[in-house]
Amino acid sequence: MPKQRRRLTGLFLICSLQAQALVIAPINGGIAAVTLPDSDSRPQVSYLGHRVLVSGHAPHWRAIVGIPLDRPAGVEHLEESSPIVQSIAFTIEHKAYPEQHITLSNQHMVDPTPTQLLRIHRELKEETADFALFDGQEPSLSIDHLPVTATALDSAFGLRRFFNGEERAPHSGLDLKAQEGQMVTTPLPGRVVLGRELYFNGGTVIIDHGRGLVSMYCHLSRIEVQPGQILHAGEELGRAGHSGRATGPHLHWSMSLNDVRIDPALLLSDELRLQLGLDH
Ligand SMILES: [Zn+2]
């Protein structure tokens, strides 16, 4: 992939996916678009053990692959299982994300008790199972309205996080500035798979958009949807708040592809990227 290597940031725009503008960034925390060998039927492909979204029309197909934040630069492999069993290589680059230091007054949000840890692990298992869903129709990969009306980010995706000086998991979503009680809507149509209070995430809604694209909204003060409910784009899912591990009201928004949390900003329309002051 010489074209990708030439660019230091590894970022470039493609507009040919269902006429959608999607920023393809083959980096840790980003998205790779991998051209698959021609085939009359839609190939079935997986990456790190998870089914991958395949887009296109016979005979031309492309895998749209979410890349984990902790993947080093180098050669990665997709495993095709149908119609042909083969391994397809692609290259990713490394992005070094900045650090963020956060002070929390509740030390149990940094070092939970054994009982709290049991709850956290149980919830994480459930969350992971929701992110691993691979059902339904091919989703839209282009977002032209934000889940909350916002003109600024609170925290970017991918930051290396230190809570009260202790390093914890990096920031796996985007934080949008929001007022307590501000309406939160789904940016894409989908089916609600979780809607309840979790330890770190607070009031949480998870939505399955289809074929491995799943979104999550956290720290909500109110949840207005039930699991199983089908939502249209723009429909309300709850209200913003500061429940769980949050220093103030904001909306934490995660997007996941093939069970990998990716930078939601990569799915935003050019207009929204400009509105939020993002440089890609
Ligand atoms: Zn967040």
Give distance in angstroms: CA of 173 to centre of ligand 1.
5
Q: Which residues contact 219 (CB under 8 A, 6 or more apart)?
A: 201, 202, 203, 240, 241, 242, 243, 244, 246, 249, 250, 251, 252
Which strands make up the sheet holding 86-92, listed edge to edge? 50-51, 44-47, 74-82, 86-92
Cα 76 to middle of ligand 1, angstroms: 28
Alpha helices in the chain, H assignment, sequence order: 2-6, 114-131, 270-275
pLDDT in tens, 265-277: 999 999 999 889 8
Q: Which of 12-21, 28-37, 129-138, 255-264 has the lowest mean pLDDT?
A: 12-21
- C-alpha to C-alpha distance for 51 and 279, rounded to whole angstroms: 30
Distance 105 CA to ligand 1 centre (A): 17
Give CA angle at 63 (60, 65), nearest 5°.
Answer: 165
Going from N- to C-terminal start, the domains of the chain cover 2-92, 99-275
Calpha distance 17→119 (Å, rounded): 41
Picking from 12, 48, 44, 45, the residue whose alpha carbon sits closest to that of residue 27 is 12
CA of 35 to the centre of ligand 1 (A): 32
The CA 262 to ligand 1 mean position distance, Å, reads 13
Q: How far is the centre of ligand 1, averaged over its atoms, from the C-alpha of 171 (Å)?
A: 6
Contact 104, 164 (CB under 8 A): yes
Q: How confident is the model at residue 25, as a pLDDT? A: 92
What integer is the mean pLDDT of 184-193? 97
Q: Indicate if the pLDDT at residue 152 is higher than 90.
A: no
Task: Say how far residue 172 (Cα) sits from the centre of its chain.
Answer: 7
Q: Quick check: helix, strand or coil at residue 253?
A: strand
Structure confidence at residue 20 (pLDDT):
55
pLDDT in tens, 110-143: 889 999 999 999 999 999 999 999 989 999 999 9
Q: How far apart are the CA of 175 and the centre of ligand 1, in A? A: 5
Rounded CA-CA distance 34/75 in Å is 12
Q: Is the pLDDT of residue 179 over 50?
A: yes
Point out which residues pair with 223 in neighbouring strands: 238
17-31, 154-168, 170-184, 192-206: lowest mean pLDDT where?
Answer: 17-31
Q: Is the pLDDT of residue 3 over 70?
A: no
Q: For residues 105-113, give the mean pLDDT.
A: 85
Q: How far is the CA of 161 from the centre of ligand 1 (A)?
A: 10
Q: Which CATH superfamily is domain 99-275 in?
A: Glucose Permease (Domain IIA) (2.70.70.10)
**2-92 classified as CATH 2.60.40.1590:** yes
Same fold across 2-92 and 99-275? no
- State the distance from the centre of ligand 1 to the C-alpha of 77, rounded, in angstroms: 30
Going from the C-alpha of 257 to that of each of 2, 68, 139, 141, 151, the distances in angstroms are 25, 10, 11, 10, 25
237 CA to middle of ligand 1, Å?
17
CB 63 within 8 A of CB 54: yes
Average pLDDT, the chain: 90
CA of 6 to the centre of ligand 1 (A): 32
For the stretch 47-84, pLDDT in tens is: 999 999 999 999 999 999 999 999 999 999 999 999 99
Cα separation values, 121 from 18, 50, 53, 112, 124, Å? 38, 21, 28, 11, 5
Q: What pLDDT, on the 0 to 100 scale, is given for residue 21?
A: 67
CA 250 to centroid of ligand 1, rounded, Å: 8
For the chain, percent helix, then strand, then coil, each to nearest 5? 15, 45, 45
d(CA 79, CA 89): 9
CA 57 to ligand 1 centroid distance, Å: 36
Answer whether 34's CB lies under 8 Å from 52's CB. no
